[in-house]
Copies of this chain bind each other. A is one copy, B any other.
Amino acid sequence: MDEVEIFKALSNKTRIQILTWLKDPVKHFPAHKTNCENNGVCVGLIQQKAGLTQSTISEYLSILQRAGLVTATRLGQWTYYKRNEIAFEKLSHLIASEL
């Protein structure tokens, strides 16, 4: 749990937006309900919604992953990203008690 790395990852409007989309993927990516429920959301869907280039979004997702805020699962050609809720709980607790 590298706090500074986490806060850097959160220091960007688009990355925060992505995290809120991933909080309720069925709502934000309704056309892909099944995958969203099971595996997470693939890079391409996030990219379309964010409106930035593929390379930028891929990079952003790996920043979030390195910070531990999301997890990635490769299935075939797709990489599915999901929130790591435990990391958010820990962060919330850290701010409330130790920071």
Residues of chain A at the chain B interface (Cβ within 8 Å): 3-4, 7-8, 10-13, 16, 19-20, 23, 88-89, 91-93, 95-96, 98-99
| Known A7-B10, A11-B11; 15 more pairs at CB < 8 Å | A3-B10, A4-B10, A4-B11, A4-B13, A7-B7, A10-B99, A19-B99, A20-B98, A88-B96, A89-B96, A92-B92, A92-B93, A92-B95, A92-B96, A95-B95
CB neighbours (8 Å) of A8 from chain B are 7, 11
Min C-beta distance of A48 to chain B, whole Å: 22
Q: How far is the CA of A82 from the CA of B6 in the complex (A)?
A: 24
* Other-chain contact of A11, B7, B23, B95, B99 (Cβ < 8 Å): B7
